[in-house]
Amino acid sequence: MEKTYQAIRFSEKLAKITDFWQPRVIAEMNDYQFKVVRIAGDFIWHDHPDTDETFIVLSGQLRIDFRDGAVSIGSGEMFVVPKGIEHKPYAETEVQLLLIEPRGVLNTGHAGGDRTAQNDVWV
């Protein structure tokens, strides 16, 4: 059987996601996962002590708060949060993101709570 090659369309994957703050895996590369997520409003303070986390804004305007400042990331921009740095994403209106992080990383780090999404859910 012949293998088929097909591009991943972010818009098609995001259209299948109805809930905010629920990252969904769309691809893997080695031990890293590429996840799309729709967010709106305020998240929780958390960190990832063992890994960096990459935020790529596909649409909207994201702010990531830090204890000593903030960064604003617009559509077509990215930012890498260094490991161990406490941060809190915020979106005044809906933002669509591509996240890149190692497999098994929880969206809330070790903070837990009702915003913790189930891991390894593909869309």
Q: What is the mean pLDDT of the chain?
A: 95
Q: Out of 3.30.70.1230, 2.60.120.10, 2.40.430.10, 3.30.565.10, which CATH number does the structure's domain 10-102 have?
A: 2.60.120.10
- Is residue 10 over pLDDT 90? yes
> Which residues on adjacent β-strands are paired with residue 115?
none
For residues 52, 29, 39 and 75, what is the CA-based torsion angle, rounded to 10 degrees?
A: 90
| C-alpha gyration radius of the chain | 14
> Phi first, then psi: what are they for 70, rounded to 5°?
-155, 160
Claim: this prediction has a pTM higher than 0.85: yes
pLDDT digits (tens, 9 = 90+) for 90-102: 999 999 999 999 9
Is 20 exposed, middle or buried (CB count within 10 Å of its CB: 0-12, 13-18, 19+)? middle
Task: Say whether pLDDT at 2 is over 90.
Answer: no
Distance CA 112, CA 105 (A): 12
- In this predicted model, what pLDDT tens digit does every residue of 36-61 receive, in sequence order? 999 999 999 999 999 999 999 999 99
